[in-house]
Chain A
Amino acid sequence: MRRRTLLAASATGALLSGCAPERRRGTGGRITLRFQSLAWQQESVVANKQLVGEWNAAHPDIRVEYVQGSWDGVHDQLLTSFEGGEAPDIIHDATDDLADFAYGGYLADLTDLLPRRLKDEIPPRTWQTATFDGGVHGVPFLQEPRVLIANRTLLERARVRIPTAERPWSWAEFEDAAEELTRDGTYGVAWPLKEPVSATLNLSLSTGGKVFHRGTDGKVTVRFDAADQRVPRVIHDQLGGDRTAARTTLGMGGSDTLPGFFGGKYAMVPLGFSYRQQVVQQAPKGFAWTVLPSPAGPGGDQRQGVSPQTLSIAADSPYQREAARFIDFFLRPPHMVRLARGDWMLPTGRTALRDPALRTRRHGWATGTSLAGQLRPAPAQTVRGYPEWKDKVATPALQEYYSGAIGMGELRERLVDDGNLVLARYQR
């Protein structure tokens, strides 16, 4: 879908030139910036609107108009807006969606627009997630690690060692624990694999898996070596080998696994950190659950890939400096904490991460914040052609592998051979 849209955009863009945006300067020199937010959870929307209100109260000459967007269809909507010169000034998105926009010249390079305070607040490895072609095209501000949400009662009954951020399970220990937990109609783990690519790639960082390798010439190729194969093999063996994972969840999204989790069918579910909100909201009264760190690779390596949410500025915006000022205000440490709590995610800012509200053990916040230092850019997000590789090659190949239809050899062949053919088209 994205690629088709992009092709249509480039074809029509070549034929039709967009017009320069009208300057939205009101009377008395007052300007209006449009901020399209993708916040959707109630607390998050409230936090966003409150911050916009606070800005408007303090800056009567630079008014920010809050526009509610939605994650559904945002890529196509933004692309059309960019092509038509009608994009919002301030754009909320995620780093894995930015590459095409950044390379297409639709997003402003923020390198010289952002204040030192904000630059220093966010770690360099996190800035990498929004750096394309040498330019910073978004401010990463919220991120979520993948964690194990587990049934505490079943864990205690099975007497397995409870992993902590300091002493996580190795992948082998995780397999053993899943085996211990598989009994009386309960599976040790439920892997929601409707979208298998990001989970597989991001968790594989812990075993040294990269999949995408950038050469000295800047070109990216796909490899699928032993380090890349470790995590997929664990999942495959749990599903089809020792049957410690439920096969019924192969086609499920994360939310779909929760009824089974609450009903005691699965002892653990690997999910994004923000799913805790649904667990809190939907769990039966008295249901005991806990948040565990994802398994670690050799030497306790807990790295995993993330695609943080970002704030960007449209290249067409006539008010880039003002928009950058708003972003700086919006992402001050206390504000970042409010946004993180609203979305049940982790802030990227160092100061915000130290906030006591995010260090509490309640609802697993402490487990998440202790993982923050291990989060890295998702391996794929700066790769041009990744969306097509994911949709056409990796998703079907991984789904077939996990279901047992193909073996590791054929999986490797398809990911690498077919994958490199796809990527080559984007790197001529």
Chain B
Amino acid sequence: MPSPVPGHRGPGPSPGEVRHHRTAGRRGPTARRRAARTGQYLALLGYLVFLAFPLLWLVSTAFKPPRELASLHPGWIPDHPTLDNFRQAFDEQPLLRSAGNSLIASLAAAVITVAIATPMAYVMARHHRSALSRAATGWIVVSQAFPFVLVIIPLFLVLKEVRLIDSLSGLIMVYVVWSLPFALWMLAGYARAVPRELEEAAAVDGAGRLRVLVSVTMPLLTPGIVATALFAFITAWNEFFFALVLLKSPRKQTMPIILTHFIGTEGVADLGPLAAASLLATLPSLVLFALIQRRITSGTLAGAVKH
């Protein structure tokens, strides 16, 4: 116990000490918060660099002449940038036609997948405790475990029976079926996040079932629908194996198939044109994502319901 000091008003600290103590107390956590935030930003930056590296390297490679591609000390910036790789890629392969085929297949697959998955996902979300819903969820999980090679031959025979081999329609059908389980699962999660109370409030205000779905539920589901469509699009855009097996006519081949034409035996590749064509193949996905990423925002429901 310290001895009393003259002028001291009791055992507690003086007002000055209290002020000092409070500021110090505030400054401590603030400094820690700043350090944590800086750490977060650094980690995020590292993650961004990690993610962006392959894309940036692809861009760099696409503009390098052959001799620079085989350099022992490759640099980021080409010493003699060239468009020859792009010219060669366009000269050798029907890139535009294959990109068009990929675009048709991917857009159609995305639209149809979302059109089928949205109502199904809503029903699953609203009745997620029913046995049927649980069984459907189980089926979705199991279906994701089937390897391509297990289904490809039966699928091929079925499509052949209905004359859909070597047609984009058949390929789109396969993409829809292949994407549907995961899309359903994804959308059901979004649908479950839409509070029932909002729908009930709209119903109390006199809105009918359809009006509730159109005016209340759908706008809130939009980010989920966009994200699911994007998933279906990118899955179809990048898909190789089904397209390889199901499409025979050169006129119908998609982008991933055309890209393999730059690759020879034992993995030997015509690296420059392959990089150029690959860069072009990544652009639609990037552009699409850039255009609609703002639609995929969380927080649209913030404050909608007071729990």
Contact = CB atoms under 8 A, between A and B. Distances in A.
A333 to B, nearest CB: 24
A414 to B, nearest CB: 24
Contacts of B249: 67
Interface string B81-102: 0000000100010000000000
A255 B267 contact: yes
Given A8-B153, A41-B270, A68-B261, A81 B245 contact: yes
A40 interface: yes
A12 B154 contact: yes
Interface in A66-83: 66-68, 70-73, 76-77, 79-81, 83
Nearest to A307: B265
Interface in A53-108: 66-68, 70-73, 76-77, 79-81, 83-86, 88, 94
A272 B265 CA distance: 10
A284 B67 contact: yes
B184 interface: no
Interface stretch (B144-152, B214-222, B299-307): B144-152
Given A76-B241, A76-B245, A18 B157 contact: yes
B157 A40 contact: no
A70 B72 contact: no
Contact of B67 (A66, A73, A283): A283
Given A41-B270, A84-B165, A8 B150 contact: yes
A67 B261 CA distance: 12
B267 A84 contact: no
Interface string A235-261: 000000000000000000111001110
A70 B160 contact: no
B70 A80 contact: no
A285 B67 contact: yes
B138 interface: no
Interface string B228-253: 00000000000011001100111001
Contact of B261 (A16, A70, A278, A281): A70
Given A71-B263, A262-B72, A282-B67, A254 B268 contact: yes
A72 to B, nearest CB: 4
A19 interface: yes
Interface string A321-350: 000000000000000000000000000000
A259 B70 contact: yes
Nearest to A263: B72
A34 B266 contact: no
B71 interface: yes
B70 A283 contact: yes
Contacts of B270: 40-42
A67 B265 contact: no
A67 B166 CA distance: 13
A303 B248 CA distance: 40
B257 interface: yes
A13 interface: yes
B204 to A, nearest CB: 56
Main secondary structure of the interface of A (DSSP, over half): mixed
A67 B248 contact: yes
B80 to A, nearest CB: 12
B152 A8 contact: yes
Interface string A269-306: 00010110010011111000000000000000000000
A71 B261 CA distance: 8
A253 B268 CA distance: 8
A81 B257 CA distance: 16
A255 B268 contact: yes
A94 B72 contact: no
Contacts of A67: 248-250
A382 to B, nearest CB: 20
Nearest to B158: A16
Given A4-B149, A16-B157, A80 B245 contact: yes
Interface string A373-417: 000000000000000000000000000000000000000000000
A358 to B, nearest CB: 20
B165 A94 contact: no
B92 A259 contact: no
B244 A41 contact: no
B201 interface: no
A70 B267 CA distance: 11
Contacts of A281: 66
B70 A262 contact: yes
Nearest to A343: B264
A49 B74 CA distance: 36
A42 B66 CA distance: 15
B92 A72 contact: no
Interface string B265-279: 111111100000000
A1 B261 CA distance: 21
A40 B261 contact: yes
B248 A73 contact: no
B132 to A, nearest CB: 30
B88 A254 contact: no
Contacts of B282: none
Nearest to A192: B266
Interface in A1-32: 1, 4-5, 8-9, 12-13, 16, 18-19
A81 B157 CA distance: 10
Most buried by A among B92, B149, B262: B149
Contacts of A72: 260, 263
B92 A77 contact: no
A83 B158 CA distance: 12
Contacts of A265: 72
A408 to B, nearest CB: 27
A294 B246 CA distance: 42
B156 interface: yes
Contacts of B268: 253-255, 274-275, 278
Considering the complex of A and B, which 9 residue pairs feature the smallest CB-CB distances, nearest first? Answer: A263-B72, A282-B70, A70-B260, A72-B260, A84-B156, A12-B153, A40-B264, A80-B245, A5-B149
Given A16-B153, A68-B253, A70-B260, 6 more contacts: A8-B150, A19-B160, A71-B265, A83-B157, A88-B248, A258-B70
24 contacts: A1-B149, A4-B149, A13-B153, A16-B157, A40-B261, A40-B262, A40-B263, A68-B261, A71-B260, A71-B265, A73-B260, A80-B152, A80-B153, A84-B153, A84-B165, A85-B160, A86-B160, A255-B268, A260-B72, A262-B71, A263-B72, A263-B73, A281-B66, A282-B69
